[in-house]
């Protein structure tokens, strides 16, 4: 899959709001999870400051709004004398997920905590829930980590859109076996593939999905959808995959072919799903094993309704996204006569409650990646270099919720 790269327009100066000016008072604060650290401010912007200080940059927001309006690039220093339990990290790659944008807009289900921990003039949040870091300083000698290890945050809300981070302890991180992985693969493992994995495994009830069973999903070309297709192929499940038609018939066929190559059993457009002919097609395809018992809903609205209609009696519709911004409204009869189960999936709830399960799921998925059984999702690489302009980073975030994208934006940190 081709990787597209967004190029910075010119090396430039960071935004005025993020500059640490000469003559300012001599202390800023660096984040270490809960404990603020007092750090000297410095007037020059460079990666390794004097006396072992690490120069770092973070995207931050101090009020909710559109990313292009509220995101700022903030420069700060990290002290070399960190608490012994903490771990100094350098970011390698961090995706820009739809939920990150909803968080910045203030429309996400949970609200972040605004704090002045990295010396911003107003209480702020560092966005980004997913990403991979390299350990620069593992902390005390009893640390379970070593310099050069790759780690991901154990829980959500870590704030990954930054060049460096200080984790409060090794236990706040999950160590990855980095052998054979690219930073992009490691950075994108914990949200989309893990969501697809858990929904396919945990949500079809009485009994769980078995080899040969069908499931149906919309948003099938999304990161989650592509992972679900590939995991289903590996586990022997058959999939009906709903996509939106592209601007030309040829482009629609190309997308169908792409998903079929990943292992999709059937690919239909939204129009086909909602046509009269679909009912007969569905019956013919699923004659031997029965109608799908599981539906994965990324979209909502009419698409979710059509998925629900395709389910077998007693089937489960799991809603994990709302890309159409339309509510999930179902005909009463689907509940009374088909006794459908409506569930919601939220990865954070699962991962934060069971970090060990998260670590196991991630490790299993990465084994599949190494074995070439899970291919990379299409991404738009956004190089983040020391001099990358604030505007370039903001623009990369802004388009995330638009449809018909070429790939998921991922910040790839270079020379920071």
Site for ligand NAP in 29-68 (CB under 6 A): none
Encoded tokens for 162: 């930054």
At its nearest, how many Å lie between ligand NAP and the CB of residue 169?
A: 25
Q: Name the residue with tokens 């597209």.
A: 4
When the beta carbons of 62 and 190 are compared against ligand NAP, the nearer one is 190
Q: How many residues bind ligand NAP (CB under 6 A)?
A: 27
Q: Is 108 a catalytic residue?
A: yes
How many angstroms separate the CA atoms of 87 and 385, rounded?
Answer: 22
How many angstroms separate the CA atoms of 162 and 12, rounded?
Answer: 18
32, 321, 374, 392: which one binds ligand NAP (CB under 6 A) = 321
Binding mask 183-202 for ligand NAP (x = CB under 6 A): --------xx--x-------
When the beta carbons of 250 and 280 are compared against ligand NAP, the nearer one is 250
Query: What distance, in Å, lies between the first and last C-alpha atoms of the chain?
Result: 27
Encoded tokens for 195: 């969501």
According to the binding rule CB under 6 A, does residue 351 interact with ligand NAP? Answer: no
Q: Which residue is nearest to ligand NAP (CB)?
A: 321
Virtual torsion, Cα 196, 197, 202, 208, nearest 10 deg: 100
* Residue among 158, 179, 163, 34 at smallest CA distance from 92: 163
According to the binding rule CB under 6 A, does residue 242 interact with ligand NAP? Answer: no
Identify which range of 94-102, 172-180, 233-241, 362-370 contacts ligand NAP by CB under 6 A.
Answer: 94-102
Nearest-5° Cα angle at 218, 213 to 220: 85
At its nearest, how many Å lie between ligand NAP and the CB of residue 154?
A: 16
91, 97, 124, 286: which one binds ligand NAP (CB under 6 A) = 97
At its nearest, how many Å lie between ligand NAP and the CB of residue 397?
A: 12
DSSP class of 9: S
According to the binding rule CB under 6 A, does residue 324 interact with ligand NAP? Answer: yes
DSSP 3-state of 279: helix
67, 127, 159, 219: which one binds ligand NAP (CB under 6 A) = 219
The CB-side HSE value for 2 (13 A sphere, CA atoms) comes to 3
C-beta of residue 227 within 8 angstroms of C-beta of residue 239: no
At its nearest, how many Å lie between ligand NAP and the CB of residue 86?
A: 28
How big is the chain, counted in residues?
416
Helix axes 192-202, 223-235, angle to 10 degrees: 50
Binding mask 287-306 for ligand NAP (x = CB under 6 A): -----------xx-------
345, 384, 411, 413: which one binds ligand NAP (CB under 6 A) = 345
C-beta of residue 282 within 8 angstroms of C-beta of residue 290: no
- Catalytic-role residue among 51, 53, 64, 108: 108
Q: What sign does the CA torsion over 204, 210, 213, 218 have?
A: positive
DSSP 3-state of 349: helix
How many angstroms separate the CA atoms of 70 and 105, rounded?
Answer: 9
When the beta carbons of 135 and 328 are compared against ligand NAP, the nearer one is 328
Identify which range of 41-49, 203-211, 382-390, 398-406 contacts ligand NAP by CB under 6 A.
Answer: 398-406
According to the binding rule CB under 6 A, does residue 250 interact with ligand NAP? Answer: no
327, 333, 372, 403: which one binds ligand NAP (CB under 6 A) = 403
Assign residue 411 a region: left if phi > 0, alpha if psi is -120 to 50, beta otherwise? beta
Identify which range of 30-38, 68-76, 95-103, 333-341 contacts ligand NAP by CB under 6 A.
Answer: 95-103
42, 60, 99, 311: which one binds ligand NAP (CB under 6 A) = 99
C-beta of residue 197 within 8 angstroms of C-beta of residue 365: yes
Helix axes 355-370, 192-202, angle to 10 degrees: 110
221, 230, 316, 416: which one binds ligand NAP (CB under 6 A) = 221
When the beta carbons of 91 and 192 are compared against ligand NAP, the nearer one is 192
At its nearest, how many Å lie between ligand NAP and the CB of residue 415?
A: 28
List residues near ligand NAP by CB under 6 A. 97-99, 191-192, 195, 219, 221-225, 244, 298-299, 320-324, 345-347, 403-405, 408
Q: List residues with catalytic annotation.
A: 108
């Amino acid at each position: 899959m081709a990787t597209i790269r967004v190029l910075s327009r010119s090396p430039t100066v960071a935004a005025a709001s993020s500059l640490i000016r000469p003559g300012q008072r001599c202390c800023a604060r660096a984040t270490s999870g809960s404990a603020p650290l007092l750090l000297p401010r410095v007037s020059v912007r460079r990666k390794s400051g004097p006396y072992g200080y690490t120069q770092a940059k973070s995207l931050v927001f101090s009020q909710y709004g559109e990313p292009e309006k509220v995101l700022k690039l903030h420069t700060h220093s990290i002290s070399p004398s960190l608490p012994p339990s903490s771990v100094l990290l350098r970011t390698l790659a961090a995706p820009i997920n739809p939920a990150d944008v909803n968080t910045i807009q203030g429309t996400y289900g949970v609200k972040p905590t605004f704090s002045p921990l990295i010396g911003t003039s107003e209480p702020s949040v560092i966005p980004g829930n997913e990403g991979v870091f390299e350990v620069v300083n593992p902390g005390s000698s009893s640390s379970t980590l070593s310099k050069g290890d790759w780690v991901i945050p154990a829980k959500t809300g870590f704030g990954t859109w930054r060049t460096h981070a200080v984790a409060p302890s090794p236990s706040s991180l999950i160590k990855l076996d980095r052998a054979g992985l690219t930073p992009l693969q490691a950075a994108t493992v914990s949200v989309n593939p893990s969501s697809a994995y858990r929904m396919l495994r945990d949500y079809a009830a009485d009994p769980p999905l078995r080899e040969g069973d069908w499931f149906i999903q919309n948003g099938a070309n999304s990161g989650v959808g592509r992972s679900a297709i590939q995991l289903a192929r590996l586990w022997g499940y058959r999939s009906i995959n709903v996509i939106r038609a592209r601007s030309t018939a040829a482009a629609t066929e190309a997308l169908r072919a792409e998903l079929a190559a990943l292992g999709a059993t059937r690919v239909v457009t939204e129009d086909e799903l909602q046509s009269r002919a679909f009912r007969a097609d569905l019956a013919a395809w699923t004659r031997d094993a029965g109608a799908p018992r599981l539906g994965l809903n990324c979209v909502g609205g009419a698409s979710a309704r059509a998925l629900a209609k395709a389910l077998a009696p007693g089937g489960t519709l799991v809603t994990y996204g709302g890309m159409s911004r339309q509510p999930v409204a179902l005909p009463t009869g689907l509940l009374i006569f088909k006794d459908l189960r409506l569930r919601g999936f939220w990865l954070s709830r699962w991962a934060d409650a069971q970090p060990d399960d998260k670590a196991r799921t991630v490790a299993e998925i990465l084994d599949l990646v190494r074995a070439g059984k899970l291919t990379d999702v299409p991404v738009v690489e956004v190089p983040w270099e020391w001099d990358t302009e604030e505007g370039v980073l903001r623009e990369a975030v802004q388009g995330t919720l638009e449809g018909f994208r070429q790939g998921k934006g991922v910040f790839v940190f270079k020379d920071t």
